[in-house]
Amino acid sequence: MNPFERAAWRPQYLDVDDARLAHYIAGRGEEPVVWLHGLPLDSRSWSAQRAHFDPLACNVFVDLRGYGASSKLPLDCVDVTQLYTDDLERLLTHLNLRGVALIGFASAGHVALRFAAQHPDRLTKLAVINASPRFRRGADWPWGFDDAGIDRFVRIGRDAGIEALTDVILDPGTVLRDVGPHEAHRLKEWFGAMSRTAGTDTLMGFFERISRDDDRHLLGSIATPTMLVTSGLGREVPSDVGLYLRGHIAESWLVELPGADHFVFATRPRLVNELLAQFLIATPAAP
C-alpha cells in the first residue's frame, strides 16, 4: 500500500442509469464534507485529507465516472461536466444530504463551481483548489491551455496510449516542482496508477470536452461562502485565475500559496489541511 494511504478504501455504489458511481464514506464528525478529485486521479488521492479530517467530519469521497472504482465514462457524452454535476446531485439525494461542504480540485473544482451555481440549496460552503471556469485560452481569456497544447495531449493519448499520456500529464518538471526528486517520483508513481486505471477515453473527456467549457457566466450565481486556493507555481491554472474568481464570486476568499505547484493538496498537505479546516470550521456557513 502507498504510504499516503493510511486507511482502507472500500467503495459503496450508487446505480446511475446503466452505470455505478463509487463513493467512500468515512469519518467520525457530524458535518458532511464531499470531496471531488481532479484529473487524472481518483478518491485515494485525498488520503492525506482523509487522515486529517476523519476525526472532524463525515467525509464522502466520490470517484467521478471513468475514474477509480466507478463505471467508465459514456463515450457519447457531450457535456461531461454536466454529467458529473448530475451524478453528484443524485448521490447527495441518495445519501439524504443537503447542507454539505464541497471541495474540488482542478477539473473537479470546475465541476464544483458549476454545481454551486446550479444547486445553491445543497451547499453550506465551497472550497476549490486550482479550479477554473475555463481551461482553454481565447481572445478574452489568456490563461490555461492553447489549442496546440490541447491537440498535443489528444494526439499523444490517441496515438501513444495511456502510458505516454500519463507521463506527460504528470511530468514532475511541470506539475511537481515544489518537492524533491524522490517525493516527485513517489507522487508520479502513485498518481500514475490512478491515471492508468482511468484510461485514455476518460482523460480525453477532459481534453476534448471539459476543456471547451466556458462557465464564466455561472459565477455570479454562486452564493455559497467560497474559499479559492491557488498555487503560485501553477501553470495549468495560474494564480490570476483565482483573482478572476475572487472578483466574480460574491462571498469568496482567495489564498495563494507561493512556491506551491499544481498538486498542492499532496505536496503541501499539512498547510492545505489547516487552511481547509479553518475555513470549514471558522467561516460562517450559508443560511
DSSP states of 114-137 as a string?
HHHHH-GGGEEEEEEES--S--B-
* Domain-wise residue ranges, the chain: 12-282
Reported as a single tens digit per residue, the pLDDT across 2-11 is 434 445 789 9
Q: Across the chain, where does the E strand assignment appear? A: 12-16, 19-26, 32-36, 58-62, 100-105, 123-129, 226-231, 252-257
Q: pTM (2 decimals)?
A: 0.96
> Tens digit of pLDDT for each residue in 17-74?
899 999 999 998 888 999 999 999 999 999 999 999 999 999 999 999 999 999 999 9
Share of the chain above pLDDT 90, in %: 91
Helix (H, G, I), strand (E, B) or coil at 237: coil
Cell of 156: 499523444
C-alpha angle with apex 155: 149 to 157, nearest 5 degrees?
A: 105
Q: What is the CATH number of domain 12-282?
A: 3.40.50.1820
**Overall residue count recorded for the chain in this entry:** 287
Instruction: Give the rounded distance of the alpha carbon of 83 from its chain centre.
Output: 15
Q: In the block, which residue shows the cell 514532475?
A: 172
pLDDT at residue 253, rounded to an integer = 97
pLDDT at 7: 55
Q: What is the pLDDT of residues 180-220, one digit of tens each?
A: 999 999 999 999 999 999 999 999 999 999 999 999 999 99
Report the C-alpha gap between 199 and 39 in whole angstroms.
Answer: 11
DSSP-derived letter for residue 20 is: E
144-148 average pLDDT score? 95
pLDDT value of position 191: 98
Asked if 204 contacts 238 with a C-beta cutoff of 8 angstroms, the reply is no
Burial class (CB in 10 A: 0-12, 13-18, 19+), 65: buried
